[in-house]
Amino acid sequence: MIEVKNLVKVLPNGRRVLDGVSFKVDKGEFVGILGPSGAGKSLTLRCLNGLLKPDEGSVTLTDASGRQYDITKANKKELRTARQKIGVIFQGYHLVKRLPAIDNVMIGRLGQISTLRSLLYGFTDREAEEAKKALEQVKMEALAGAITSGLSGGEMQRVAIARAIYQQPSLLLADEPISNLDPSNAKMIMKLIRPLSADIPVIGVFHQPEMTAKYCTRVIAIKDGKVLYDGDPKLTNDQLVEIYGEELQQMEHYEQPVPVIA
Ligand SMILES: Nc1ncnc2c1ncn2[C@@H]1O[C@H](COP(=O)(O)OP(=O)(O)OP(=O)(O)O)[C@@H](O)[C@H]1O
């Protein structure tokens, strides 16, 4: 479970880019964070994995054994330990392109084994077997040995998901994971992410309300650094207008309601 309490971030010019963001996400939930450009979505996500320290508030991650990680108060060493519990999928995949897909998956556990062991012995056969299983889970086993630079965007994102699975995280964060993908690959990625939420909380930032409506179990909308909405992933047209304002007109999949002619 991850609990976010009253996150506040104030810029030097006094602007409150996060202004009291609070929510709790449990295993079984796939939460989509939506909101207009500059709303504070990425800043929120960065507070969740400790990349950004808020001026106020707390982020507490509790793993399956009940151990708690206080992300906001953690020192460098504690943060490193906590981050091993957090899988992250990025819009730009963040893979080492010159390495085979399976090596990228195994990188997911690098933080968990000693540098000396990884330098001297590399990974064990058991670890390689587990990495293969993670690739099977995202239907990428046939390309396990392929050099990552030759893979398509959808395939790279599947490798990134396998890396997160292999990491055995207690929380999965996804930062615009489908923004670079065509609709069919985007659907495939959402279908692969959703079942992961059976065991751990999954939180993603999205720009596609039609996709969060279909695949997420809950939506949190952030606007002007505040939680504007937290609930059912299926938003009404009025709710979308309230969240996105004028930006809605520019969104790809938004269909403007047909005006009623009296
Ligand atoms: N380091 C920084 N210095 C100044 N302003 C910042 C900094 N980081 C973020 N901001 C501002 O804080 C606000 C929230 O940023 P954030 O990246 O969270 O937006 P977002 O909701 O993710 O937007 P988008 O959908 O466009 O990525 C923005 O107005 C942004 O310009």
CATH code for position 189? 3.40.50.300
What residues contact 113, with CB distance under 8 A and at least 6 apart? Answer: 123
What ligand 1 atom has the least distance to the C-alpha of 39?
A: 21
Report how many domains make up the chain.
1
Q: How far apart are CA 68 and CA 106, in angstroms?
A: 26
Query: 9 — phi, psi (to 5°)?
Result: -135, 125
Q: How far apart are CA 89 and CA 154, in angstroms?
A: 13
Residue whose Cα lies nearest atom 9 of ligand 1: it is 43
Q: How far apart are CA 74 and CA 110, in angstroms?
A: 21
- pLDDT digits 0-9 by tens, 205-214: 999 999 999 9
What residues contact 8, with CB distance under 8 A and at least 6 apart? Answer: 16, 18, 19, 20, 54, 55, 56, 57
Q: Average the pLDDT over 228-244 and give the result.
A: 96
Structure-block tokens of residue 63: 């793993």
Give residue 126's Cα distance to chain centre: 27
Query: In this structure, is residue 223 part of a structural domain?
Result: yes
Going by the DSSP 8-state scheme, the letter that residue 99 receives in this structure is S
Query: In this structure, is residue 259 part of a structural domain?
Result: no
Q: 193 and 215 in contact (C-beta within 8 Å)?
A: yes
| pLDDT score at 33 | 98
| pLDDT score at 251 | 77
Would the pLDDT of 113 be above 80?
A: no
Would the pLDDT of 165 be above 90?
A: yes
Angle between helices 125-137 and 153-166 (to 10 degrees): 130
Q: Which of 12, 1, 31, 15 is nearest to 215 (CA)?
A: 31
Q: How confident is the model at residue 124 (pLDDT cuts 50, 70, 90)?
A: confident
Domain hosting 141: range is 2-254
Q: Is the CB of 38 under 6 A from ligand 1?
A: yes
Query: In this structure, is residue 261 part of a structural domain?
Result: no
Q: Average the pLDDT over 162-188 and give the result.
A: 96
Going by the DSSP 8-state scheme, the letter that residue 142 receives in this structure is G
Would the pLDDT of 12 be above 70?
A: yes
Residue whose Cα lies nearest atom 6 of ligand 1: it is 11
Specify the DSSP element, H or E, that contains 97: none
Residue whose Cα lies nearest atom 17 of ligand 1: it is 42
Own/partner pairs, 149-155, CB within 8 angstroms, 24+ separation: 149/97, 149/98, 151/101, 152/185, 153/93, 153/180, 153/181, 153/185, 154/181, 154/182, 154/185, 154/188, 154/189, 155/101
Question: Among the residues of the chain, which ranges form H helices?
Answer: 41-48, 76-83, 101-106, 115-121, 125-137, 153-166, 183-193, 209-215, 237-244
Ligand 1 center to residue 176 CA distance, Å?
Answer: 14
Q: Which of 92, 97, 188, 103 is nearest to 144 (CA)?
A: 103
Mean of per-residue pLDDT scores for the chain: 92
The ipTM of this complex is 0.95
Ligand 1 center to residue 42 CA distance, Å?
Answer: 7
Going by the DSSP 8-state scheme, the letter that residue 181 receives in this structure is S
Query: In this structure, is residue 260 part of a structural domain?
Result: no
